[in-house]
Amino acid sequence: MFSVDIKKCIGCALCIKDCFVNDIEMIDTHASIKNLNCFKCGHCIAICPVGAISTDEYNMSDVIEYEKKSFDINPENLLNFIKFRRTIRQFENKDIEKDKILKIIEAGRFTQTASNSQDTSYIVVQKNIQELKKLALESLNRMATQILDNSTSPLFRRYAKLWIQMYKNYIEDPNKEDRLFFNAPLIIVVVSDSQVNGALASSNMELMINSLGLGTVFSGFFTKASENNPDIKEFLGIAPEKQIVTCMVIGYPSIKYSRTVPRKSADISWR
């Protein structure tokens, strides 16, 4: 439950004004949380000027007081940081420290979710990457055969031929020309009930990955393979009803970029 320490509360009503579901009321000049409609977003904790609101449902040690020097980011630097990011497919043969992995997941954990569902989870794969690769490539190989038998789409057929070649390469040598995981040391599979929630978390995780001097590629091939292979979910311990939203292939880049790249002009409609 969320609760108000009336000894601290100054009756400013900021929490009442900011509560989207109108679950806070004023009683005898102090705020009182009804805990009827509350979906535990924490806005009341964040807005209270005297820190009078807390909850026993989350770890209150997560709460950090705002300080401009620790929280604010120069907007031009942030935009350049976003522009400079690149999809990385060349990695060093170097393990990633556990504290960095936890920071990446922390960036996902604190990403917003619809109705504060917090329904996103993370599967960290390090020791069993080869087994996961085998399952995914077997799935892609089966899909490719079906595509070549039934589809006339040039794009689908191109991918199908690539998947068959990837599978053949794996059978010859599991580490040869790995175009699925690129011999990276770490995979994080992002799972959610919502595509949007999982994608938002993955986006923030990528920002953290880049800030840690790491790089990533989103393996669309893997997510495609997982759609038609329940064995992949079983191997990862994912419930059948859950969605694999992204597969983040992560490592230390063995390549260095020197500049940003151009993009098409933004398609904007002003109304």
Q: What is the per-residue pLDDT for 176?
A: 81
What pLDDT does 264 receive?
A: 97
Identify the pLDDT of residue 235.
97
CATH superfamily of 75-131+177-251: NADH Oxidase (3.40.109.10)
Dihedral pair phi/psi, residue 30, rounded to 5°? -130, 145
* Confidence (pLDDT) at 177: 86
What distance in Å separates the CA atoms of residue 265 and residue 178, rounded to the nearest whole number? 34
pTM: 0.94
Reference 113, options 40, 182, 180; nearest CA is 40
Q: Please state which of the four CATH numbers 3.40.50.880, 3.90.1150.10, 3.30.70.20, 3.40.640.10 is assigned to the domain occupying 2-62.
A: 3.30.70.20
Task: Fill in the amino acid letter for 105.
Answer: I
| Mean pLDDT for back-to-back runs of 10 residues, the chain (271 residues) | 97 98 96 97 98 97 96 97 97 97 98 96 97 97 95 93 96 90 98 96 98 98 93 94 95 98 98 96
Distance CA 61, CA 243 (A): 30
Q: How much is the pLDDT for 240?
A: 86
The residues, ordered by sequence, that sit 6+ positions from 199 with a Cβ below 8 Å of its Cβ are 245, 246
Equal CATH topology for 2-62 and 75-131+177-251: no
How many Å separate Cα 10 from the centre of its chain? 38
Which runs of E-coded beta strand occur in 51-133?
53-55, 121-125
- The confidence score (pLDDT) of residue 123 equals 98
pLDDT of residue 140: 97
* Domain boundary assignment for the chain: 2-62, 75-131+177-251, 139-172
**So what's the pLDDT on residue 228?**
78
